Structure 1
Amino acid sequence: MKKEVGHNFLARLGKKRLRPGGVAATNWLIQQANLSTDSQVLEVACNMCTTSIQLAGKYHCQITGIDMDPRALEKANRNIKNANLENYIRVRQGNAMKLPFENESFDVVINEAMLTMLNQPAKEKAVAEYYRVLKPGGILLTHDITFAKENMEERLAELRRTIHINVEPLTVGHWAGLFHSAGFKQVDNATGPMSLMSINGLIRDEGVIGALRIVKNGLKKENREQFKKMYSFFNTTGKDLNYIAVCSSKK
């Protein structure tokens, strides 16, 4: 079986929501942001710009998206054009740990499903960059993976084998500590079960037709082994893993 990174595999099957808590967690984050037409927003690791398109369509705010993957940015530009939102969203290649922006440039920074994939020093470097580019009183919105039980190393190793990428989730307390250490003051969070590959989550995030299309594509011969492996993990042993959405305010 060809080892394909989990989120790239799901995107190829047709999945648009590639975040641990799906639309429920993203919507919680958006509710914390108090967005308006005057808001300057940065989405880090924007991928195909699903969240940015949702925000620009609803709030008509100005959004800059960055991602390291040029193929993701190609998809993002197509999606932005199809949504007729070129006047609101711009995307470019960029590194979260060395953001190509001046200090205090944005009211809101959004980063979903990326920090989990970084080791601790890289997490700290990225969060310090988010703090730097936020205006005083600005908001950082993040969406990652957490766990409540201790001694999860074996389960996390299985997660890494399943999605073919290194991940380092944190406990709720350690996530909060990461943001406080960077200088953020108020840190609020919401947690819940991961919906990435549950039936209810697929339907909620992608709609019935979208969910059926993903399952149909997943069961094709060339995809079946990886799809079944991921589906089995996230619906059995991986149920101890949760999403965590965090809203952190800059002083």
Structure 2
Amino acid sequence: MTDETRVPFEERAAANTPGHWLLARLGKRVLRPGGLRLTRRLLAHADIAGADVVELAPGLGRTAIDVIAAHPGSYTGVERDPDAVRLTARAVGDAGRVVEADAAETGLPAASADLVIGEAMLTMQSERGKHAIVSEAVRLLRPGGRYAIHELGLHPDDLDPDVTSALQRDLARTIKVNARPLTVAEWRALLEGAGLVVEWTGSEPMALLQMRRNLADEGLVGTLRILRNVLRDADARRRVLAMRRLFAANEDRLRGVALGARRPAR
């Protein structure tokens, strides 16, 4: 755990803090590349009712609220950032629990979940890190269990490797996270390589900082709160505008992608 993760997100300096924590500090609550619409499409395919659910890296707990509303058998969040643990625990209340642990080594019993959910967290991992987390998800799943992910995707599947490398460098410089998005084919291969069967894929535009998306995700009051906070903080405003320019310049290459996969029953 880095020193940065120990600082409450409300107090993290704008200049170098990861982009998702910066946006959270400014009041944004939906931090998924495909927005709330893609999250809800993913959850609709996940058969939550009655399931023992584990969510990896729930962050602010926004998705946890929707999971709890779908009446799972149980909910467990696994989050390594202590501030995010507190926020998710507040969101789920007595309807679930949140443990402080790494997504690649949760400490939870094997075959203890019917559904594992992870959003906007594999993208931030190296190739080795991605494999480690997916392997842990598979370990947690009972035979026939489901794994649902929502991540940042690249388009098209045959995107030039040089373009991909340049985009990864621009993302790292701008959002202060070594984001490594994959094409849908690569995300599928990652899951299938761990022995899962991909049953569903979906996508939405990567419109995280566009006004229409924010109104849909945050509502009018929430969007106005974000705008007010951006206007009040010059350093944060520079960061947000830089991220917005990068996303706009690559709107044809970036998108939110979701995949639903199943661990074979045998």
The interval holding the TM-score normalised by the smaller chain is: over 0.9
Contact map agreement 1:105 1:134 (CA 8 A) in 2: yes
TM-score (norm. length: structure 2): 0.88
Q: Indicate the residue corresponding to 1:181 in structure 2.
A: 193
Deviates more, 1:50-59 or 1:230-239: 230-239
Q: Indicate the residue corresponding to 2:6 in structure 1.
A: none
Identity %: 32
1:239 positional shift: 4.5
Residue 169 (structure 1) aligned with residue 176 (structure 2): no
Match of 2:123, SS state, is helix
**Which ranges of structure 1 fall in alignment gaps of 5 or more residues?**
none
Match of 2:70, SS state, is helix
Instruction: After TM superposition, list the pairs within 5 Å mapping 1:152-163 onto structure 2.
Output: 152-163=164-175
Quick one: which amino acid aligns to residue 137 of structure 2?
Answer: Y
Contact map agreement 1:155 1:238 (CA 8 A) in 2: no
Structure 1 segments (4+ residues) deviating >3 Å: none
Q: Indicate the residue corresponding to 2:31 in structure 1.
A: 18
Which of these residues, 131, 138, 144, is aligned with residue 137 of structure 1?
144
- Tell me the distance in 2 between the aligned counterparts of 1:97 and 1:8: 21
Deviates more, 1:188-197 or 1:104-113: 188-197
Which of these residues, 17, 31, 40, is aligned with residue 4 of structure 1?
17
1:187 positional shift: 3.9
Gap change, CA 1:206 and 1:96, over 3 Å in 2: same
1:122 positional shift: 1.2
Match of 2:258, SS state, is strand
Match of 1:72, SS state, is helix
Aligned-CA RMSD value: 1.5
TM-score (norm. length: structure 1): 0.93
1:50 positional shift: 1.1
Residue 243 (structure 1) aligned with residue 256 (structure 2): yes
Q: Indicate the residue corresponding to 1:76 in structure 2.
A: 88
Residue 35 (structure 1) aligned with residue 35 (structure 2): no
Contact map agreement 1:29 1:245 (CA 8 A) in 2: yes
How many residues align? The count is: 245
Instruction: After TM superposition, list the pairs within 5 Å mapping 1:51-90 onto structure 2.
Output: 51-81=63-93, 86=94, 88-90=95-97
1:133 positional shift: 0.6
